[in-house]
Every structure is written in structure tokens, then in C-alpha cells.
């Protein structure tokens, strides 16, 4: 059997691994074995944090809506309950955008919910 030299492929593989960990600190960004380990861990965290991001944004929307409601004499929970009773189907993301960008329109929505 003929001899196969795998130098170019090994270098390509190493280069691709190190390209993925560019900017990592200490040996994680320069040593191939540590870089592979770092990529594996980063992948698991990225998966979990994509799920967490949805919850983080929902919390942010809740806080923004509540902050916009307080000057209008309403609490967040009472407002959401009133919306459900009146069958006004605006989700929290849209409500938070309206509260942030168009306070007068948001005041109309609050008036409709009362």
C-alpha cells in the first residue's frame, strides 16, 4: 500500500478549529486540544442560552409595560387581566413596542381595557 501524507488536511482541520475559537482567552484560543474542548462547551451553552433568551425578552417586555402603566394608574397584572376580559389580543412584545414608541396609542389601548 502506498504511503499517504495527511499534512494538508490536518493543517486545514486545525486552522478551522482555531478560527472558531478566535478571541478566546489563554490556551483556549491557541492550543488545538483545548480549543476543541472549548468549542464543545460553547455549543452546549449556546443551545441553552437560545432557550433562555426567550424568557429574558418576555421579562423585559413585562417590565416595560409595567413602567408605562404606572403613570396611567394601572398595574401590570390588572392590565393583562383587563385585556383578557375585553378579548384584546395584543401580545407582550407588541404592547411593549407601542408603550416605548407611541405612548399616546398605548394610552388609548389602556383606556380601551378599562
pLDDT 10s per residue in the chain (114 long)?
Answer: 888 888 899 999 999 999 999 999 999 999 999 999 999 999 999 999 999 999 999 999 999 999 999 999 999 999 999 999 999 999 999 999 999 999 999 999 999 998
In whole angstroms, give the CA distance from residue 32 to residue 22: 12
**80, 83, 89, 90: CA torsion to nearest 10:** -50
Task: State the residue for C-alpha cell 393583562.
Answer: 80
For the chain, the domains span: 7-113
In whole angstroms, give the CA distance from residue 52 to residue 58: 10
Please write down the HEC assignment for all residues of 69-98. Answer: HHHHCCCHHHHHHHHHHCCCCCCHHHHHHH
7-113 architecture in CATH?
A: Orthogonal Bundle (1.10)
In whole angstroms, give the CA distance from residue 23 to residue 85: 52
Q: What DSSP element (H or E) covers 45?
A: helix 32-69
User: Residue 92's pLDDT is what?
Assistant: 96
Question: Radius of gyration (Cα) for the chain, nearest Å?
Answer: 26
User: Residue 36's pLDDT is what?
Assistant: 97
| pTM (predicted TM-score) | 0.72
Amino acid at each position: 500500500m502506498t504511503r499517504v501524507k495527511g499534512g494538508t488536511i490536518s493543517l486545514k482541520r486545525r486552522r478551522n478549529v482555531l478560527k472558531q475559537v478566535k478571541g478566546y482567552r489563554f490556551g483556549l484560543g491557541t492550543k488545538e486540544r483545548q480549543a476543541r474542548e472549548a468549542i464543545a462547551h460553547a455549543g452546549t451553552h449556546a443551545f441553552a442560552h437560545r432557550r433562555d433568551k426567550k424568557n429574558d425578552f418576555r421579562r423585559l417586555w413585562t417590565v416595560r409595560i409595567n413602567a408605562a402603566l404606572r403613570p396611567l394608574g394601572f398595574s401590570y397584572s390588572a392590565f393583562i387581566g383587563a385585556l383578557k376580559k375585553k378579548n384584546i389580543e395584543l401580545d407582550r412584545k407588541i404592547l411593549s413596542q407601542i408603550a416605548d414608541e407611541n405612548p399616546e396609542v398605548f394610552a388609548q389601548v389602556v383606556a380601551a381595557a378599562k
